[in-house]
Structure 1
Amino acid sequence: MDSGTSIERTRRGAVRDHLPGLDLLRAIAVLWTMLFHSFLVGGLGEDWDWAQRYGWMGVDLFFVLSGFLIGAQVLKPLASGERLSFGDFYLRRAFRILPAFWAVLALYLLWPAFREAPGMEPWWKFAGFFVNLSIDYGNRAAFSHAWSLCVEEHFYLVFPLLAWLLAKRASAMGFVALAAAIVVGGIALRSGTWLHFDTLGSDRNWFVENIYYPTWNRLDGLLAGVILAMWKTYRPDSWARVGARANAVLIAGLATMALSFWLFRERTGLLGNSIGWPVLSLGLALLVLAGAQTGSWIGRRAVPGAAWLAAVSYSLYLVHKPVYGLVQTHLGDALDRIGSGYFAFATYGLASLIAAALLYYAVERPGLRLRGWWLSRAASKPLASPSMP
């Protein structure tokens, strides 16, 4: 979950622009997700039931952002005819994801009280990033929020190779056909799964295990982000012209989000879990498109605190749920006596921010510095010939 919005010097010396609108959207995504889990894990009460209905959409905003930012990183050298360094890409992803993830996984394994739920899947499912494909959610829900990281890891693994193959035989119609197949296939697969298990009447949480978590059902957001990345990379003049209409795009995104809210008014219903996902992804993609334009209301200036939240969002995502469990265990009775859901959420949030800051500054940030040192060493070596495959 690389924020990708801070200025960063690449191996060839290019500088990536700072985009405060994307910082803001990433901050919103993690706060949105925290709100959702504060109802599920914490004790906010029935007045906060609405958080359960729509709070999960923050993860889909992460997916669209990842598709856009990682997609642009992969597509830029391909579009200019340069060699795509798979080694550099996977090295960057490893240094970005693994140190903080391993640290949190170790806490889950070595400190049972850290778990927000009593049961947990074996460590190797997390280490192999396929716990989202094989989980007993009813009995082993601890660290289950790693499911979205698994989806992202699968995307990191497959997308560069797919993009490289498609670039060798560039075809706009071929890409459109592939994108349509992913969207239509997702609708058909989710609908068929929903109808099968709804008729079967299984006692287990098949919605989470067979629809919500598996990677093949969650490609809409990543695809929407990749489409934005392709637009920006291959049609830069057209992309730049959108800046003049960025606020109209923002309004269209909010309107599309309102439609997705209506489609998902029953979160586990057939309507949302068939056509709801591509509609939601379209709405979020329009917001990201507006956020990537410096002339939009959300992209023209930095919101205080948003850049820091964006920077620590990965650490915050990893630790917020177990920290909620710890707060509920040790302070739940006191928070219940106070009787304020807002105060409870502030307590959960403050504890999570402290834990995230510790993880970020002690583990994640040193990992990023080590990545920078490693890549700078590689940059000092002669670059391979662009003509090499």
Structure 2
Amino acid sequence: MAESTSFPDPRFATRERQPGLDLLRALAILLVVFYHAGLFGFSLPFHVQRFGWIGVDLFFVLSGYLIAGQLLQGGTGGGSPDLGRFFWRRALRILPAYLVVLAIYFALPLLREYPTIPPLWKFLGFVQNIGLRGGTAFSHAWSLCVEAQFYLLLPFVLTRLSRSRRGAIAPCLVIIGGFLLRGAIAYSLSNNEAVPFRGFQQLIYYATWTRLDPLTLGVTMAAIERYRPSWWSHLQQSARWLWASAVALICYAVYLGERDELTVAVCVFQFPLLALGLSMLLVCAVSRQLPLQRVAVPGAAFVASIAYSVYLSHKMAIHFVAGVCQSRGLRLTSAAAICLSVAAVTLVGVALFCAVERPFLQIRQRRNQQL
């Protein structure tokens, strides 16, 4: 395809594909799908279902980097970015497929992975993540709500910071604020004991104000690339040791999440450590010092292209396959069940992409060419 249509990929829509970013997007969606498949009872190699949740954080880092890059590029020459154009492009990117899947969830209850679903207005207002509890249908829309709320603030913040010499203070304040807020919430929940998982989910994991670390660090990477090219060049040249450090940080953050108890310390430090590791991984992915950017992994571009459609629809597909397997007496841990699930997720994702997402991306592309 001439246009890059992977999720989220506004910045490189008319540029040559970047293999490193395609690989990260593909990895992110695979992690998310495998994680949710595990929740339905599918058994996967290497216990991927236990740590696949980090795929959402990887999407956050990518989104912050790419969206900020688009806005900063739009303000080239000291001018302000065209906010109307920005929000129009975001709407064409996000809303069509999202609204179609949302309509299916409310029109066809049998396809829901859980019987209950939050009120429609929460999805339409992109506030479904606020006060969200696990065990509800289309719960994975929480990450889209976090990003949508972030998009509303980001253009105005970047416009102001681009005119200030103290712009670097803002990301630091967001990160520090996240530390303090998570700590206060976790401490209030713990009562000197382990933090209850339900409270952690509702007030920390799904809440926008405690999940800004990866988005903020993604924005920071884009700002360094735009305003501190010498720093960015140094990071690129240091990609070999950054790679090892990134993997170590990510593994340690995952290890914290695997502990038996959710302590206050885990709630405070896990997300920023993971975000830092993933942002370092992003730097490695766009560096010519490593093969990630020089060599395209077969299939990565395809998976990256349909990633958004797959993200929206994968739970319905997995739920459907799980029901069929159970009715036929096929164990969900079998290779056949796993293959059926992968095939269903892929087919539904491709169908949604071709029927809904791609036509609107083409409209957006034609609009860009007219401007």
Shared fold by TM > 0.5?
A: yes
Aligned to 1:34: 33
Match of 2:299 among 301, 305, 316: 305
- Counterparts of 1:278 and 1:19, CA distance in 2: 26
> Shift in Å at residue 222 of structure 1?
0.3
Match of 2:157 among 157, 162, 181: 162
Indicate whether 1:250 and 2:243 are aligned.
yes
Q: Which moved more, 1:239-248 or 1:345-354?
A: 239-248
Indicate whether 1:128 and 2:133 are aligned.
no
- Counterparts of 2:139 and 2:332, CA distance in 1: 30
Aligned to 2:78: 81
Q: How does 1:263-302 map to 2 (within 5 A)?
A: 263-266=256-259, 268-302=262-296
Aligned to 2:3: none
> Shift in Å at residue 112 of structure 1?
0.6
Contact 1:5 1:20 in 2 (8 A): no
Aligned to 2:359: 366
- Counterparts of 2:74 and 2:243, CA distance in 1: 29
Match of 1:176 among 160, 163, 168: 168
Look up the SS of the partner of 1:175 in the other structure: coil
- Counterparts of 2:357 and 2:309, CA distance in 1: 7
Q: Which moved more, 1:18-27 or 1:265-274?
A: 265-274
Contact 1:315 1:357 in 2 (8 A): yes
> Shift in Å at residue 167 of structure 1?
1.8
Match of 1:4 among 9, 14, 18: 9
- Counterparts of 1:176 and 1:164, CA distance in 2: 13
Indicate whether 1:56 and 2:49 are aligned.
no
Contact 1:243 1:296 in 2 (8 A): no
Q: How does 1:344-363 map to 2 (within 5 A)?
A: 344-363=337-356
- Counterparts of 1:164 and 1:181, CA distance in 2: 17
Structure 1, residues 54-100: CA drift from partner, whole Å, max 9, x if none? 11100000000001111111112335313310011001000000000
> Shift in Å at residue 44 of structure 1?
2.1
Structure 1, residues 292-334: CA drift from partner, whole Å, max 9, x if none? 1133132211101100111110000000111111111122354
Contact 2:190 2:196 in 1 (8 A): no
> Shift in Å at residue 193 of structure 1?
1.4
> Shift in Å at residue 6 of structure 1?
8.2
Q: Which moved more, 1:262-271 or 1:276-285?
A: 262-271
- Counterparts of 2:333 and 2:169, CA distance in 1: 54
Contact 2:118 2:128 in 1 (8 A): yes
- Counterparts of 1:232 and 1:256, CA distance in 2: 22
Structure 1, residues 210-266: CA drift from partner, whole Å, max 9, x if none? 111010010000011011101111122432344333222222211221221232223
- Counterparts of 2:109 and 2:332, CA distance in 1: 28
- Counterparts of 2:10 and 2:234, CA distance in 1: 21
Aligned to 2:115: 118
- Counterparts of 1:109 and 1:304, CA distance in 2: 37
Cα pair distance change 1:72/1:220, threshold 3 Å: same
- Counterparts of 1:338 and 1:123, CA distance in 2: 32
Runs of at least 5 residues in structure 1 that lack an aligned partner in the other structure: 10-15, 380-389
Contact 1:79 1:233 in 2 (8 A): no
Look up the SS of the partner of 1:4 in the other structure: coil
- Counterparts of 1:270 and 1:56, CA distance in 2: 20
TM-score under structure 2 length normalisation: 0.91
> Shift in Å at residue 48 of structure 1?
7.2
Match of 2:145 among 150, 154, 158: 150
Look up the SS of the partner of 1:130 in the other structure: coil
Contact 1:121 1:131 in 2 (8 A): yes
Runs of at least 5 residues in structure 2 that lack an aligned partner in the other structure: 1-5
Look up the SS of the partner of 1:129 in the other structure: coil
Contact 2:7 2:304 in 1 (8 A): no
Look up the SS of the partner of 1:121 in the other structure: coil
- Counterparts of 1:88 and 1:283, CA distance in 2: 32
- Counterparts of 1:345 and 1:228, CA distance in 2: 37
Cα pair distance change 1:338/1:265, threshold 3 Å: closer
Percent of pairs with identical residues: 36
Give the length in aligned residue pairs: 364
Computed over aligned residues only, the root mean square deviation of the Cα atoms, in angstroms, reads 2.4
Aligned to 1:190: 182
Cα pair distance change 1:81/1:335, threshold 3 Å: farther
Look up the SS of the partner of 2:185 in the other structure: helix
Cα pair distance change 1:339/1:69, threshold 3 Å: closer
